[in-house]
Amino acid sequence: MYLTDYTIIWILIGLVVISCGLYLILKSPFCYPYYVYRFDISRKRKPEIMDLIDKFLIDNHFSQIQRHNLYIMQWKDECRKKIENSRFKNYRKRQFYACLDDENAYQFCMTRQQTRYRQRNYVKTSYQVTQEVGKFACNYNFLCTRNNQLREINYECTLREYHSKNQRKLMTKEIRRKIMIRDKYTCQYCGKYMPDEVGLHIDHIIPVSKGGKTIPSNLQVLCSKCNGNKSNKS
């Protein structure tokens, strides 16, 4: 048989079209809907990802997690319908189960902005790149449990802080300022108002030595005199 150049071209085009079609039919139509959240830690020294996740939950983001769980369930329902209507039921079912990844459904990444430089024609220009420096993946139940544990301590601090053996170390400048503002620079015993903060102390209502935590509900502003009286009594 004699084939012209045109026939060969048409055969090639036909082959390409058929293989594209086959590829589209055979490839998995399922793509697992992961929840991805990125923490930008550019200005933090060495944060723990679990602390960041706790703070994320403390900032009332658990509703997002719940909403996403509903979304995953809806997605699964839709996939099942798709499988039912498909001509290759068993093949699609296998693809569906292969793409399920409930154990890693929630993914938290820590990213850092880095400045890099490029030199062109003797001119140095800077540009930013985002680099992933840490990752944590978990399932929905893990976050539910974590959120319940945080609720038990009234979302006052992260779980690591709550269980820390060194509660005094957790007394930071920020928490001092927070308590001063909350208590309006006023001694909570005698009512003395000292806006310059000098002579005011942050007191643990239940002392650290008796298991008191460095959390807002266990802290109060006292003047030196009242603070001295309190420690003499206890």
Using CB under 5 A, list all residues that contact Zn ion.
187, 189-190, 192, 223, 226
Nearer to Zn ion, 136 or 189 (CB): 189
Please give the helix or strand (H or E) that residue 83 lies within, else none: helix 62-84
Q: Least distance from C-beta 64 to Zn ion, angstroms?
A: 44
Q: Least distance from C-beta 231 to Zn ion, angstroms?
A: 13
SS3 163: coil
Q: Least distance from C-beta 191 to Zn ion, angstroms?
A: 7
Nearer to Zn ion, 58 or 222 (CB): 222
- Going by the DSSP 8-state scheme, the letter that residue 193 receives in this structure is B
Strands 123-138 and 106-120: antiparallel
Please give the helix or strand (H or E) that residue 62 lies within, else none: helix 62-84
Q: Least distance from C-beta 174 to Zn ion, angstroms?
A: 24
- Going by the DSSP 8-state scheme, the letter that residue 222 receives in this structure is E
CA separation, residue 110 to residues 2, 17, 42, 107, 136 (Å): 64, 43, 9, 10, 9
Nearer to Zn ion, 105 or 187 (CB): 187
Nearer to Zn ion, 105 or 222 (CB): 222
- DSSP-H helix ranges across 85-208: 89-99, 140-152, 159-162, 173-182
Neighbouring CB atoms inside 10 A of 94's CB total 13
Residue 143: half-sphere exposure toward Cβ, Cα within 13 Å: 29
Query: Is residue 113 within 8 Å of residue 42, measured between CB atoms?
Result: yes
Nearer to Zn ion, 54 or 203 (CB): 203
Nearer to Zn ion, 111 or 188 (CB): 188
Q: Least distance from C-beta 233 to Zn ion, angstroms?
A: 14
Residue 20 one-letter amino acid: C
Q: Least distance from C-beta 216 to Zn ion, angstroms?
A: 20
